[in-house]
Amino acid sequence: MIRHWKSIILLILAALTYSCQYQSPDLAEKSVKDSLIYKVEQIIKDKRRAEEYKERRLTKEFLRKTEEYYPTIRKYSKRYGLDWRLIVAQILRESYFKENAVSQMGARGLMQIMPYTASEITKELDYEYIFRDPKENITAGIYHLYKQMAYFPDANYENRVMLALAAYNGGAGRVVDAQDIAGFLYGKRNEWKTVKIGLTKLTSSDWKLHLEVWELGVPPNGYFYGYQETIDYVDDIMKTYQVFRKLY
């Protein structure tokens, strides 16, 4: 049976080699990359990288906490139309599943929710223990991320997720201002790759650009100097999310 499969693979390679001899270099390269063998190799490589990431970054305690809170994460992610693996990636970035985590700015819990945000969510969802009950903290965080997505109805789903993550970290107003700049400079206000450039141009040093974008000559939501943290936040979560999609 093994010899049989080896023969088939050799025949495929021979056919690809013969085909490439009579094609331009560009077409030959495309033929190889589009081949089944190439795709299988990429899947194996991606899986191996994901497993290496798991061994390097995900401790036994993290995996235990993921399993413990999985029912809550899965339930409310599904309710609000989000991928549970994205939420796990976000918690990894926010608190590494440390229930009592507190940031220098006062954000608390697994999803690092600010007091003002918690009070608003308490009114909307009638949750009283967001800072004391880890499951309520997770639920509140998922709901808050879901709310951020509503600010970007014209973006496709993947970009809506990234823009919502940026809003979760830096505030929706900052992201909307960055959208204005991205639209002005590139004509693309709903793509993360242009909006994150817009975030870097919300400081006072870009005042000339601001005069062209806004009638009053300043970002409507004020200058923003924490843009690098927000950009790193989104890119890191999305990178981890892609790994989790291969692992789970």
DSSP-derived secondary structure for 115-130: HHHHHHHHHHH--S-T
For residue 20, pLDDT over 60 is answered with no
CB 45 within 8 A of CB 246: no
Q: In terms of pTM, does the model score above 0.95? A: no
pLDDT digits (tens, 9 = 90+) for 150-185: 999 999 999 999 999 999 999 999 999 999 999 999
**pLDDT mean across residues, the chain:** 86
Domain boundary assignment for the chain: 2-57, 60-149, 157-238
Q: Which CATH number fits domain 60-149: 1.20.1050.10, 1.10.530.10, 3.40.50.300, 3.30.2270.10?
A: 1.10.530.10
Residues with catalytic roles = 94
CB 194 within 8 A of CB 188: yes
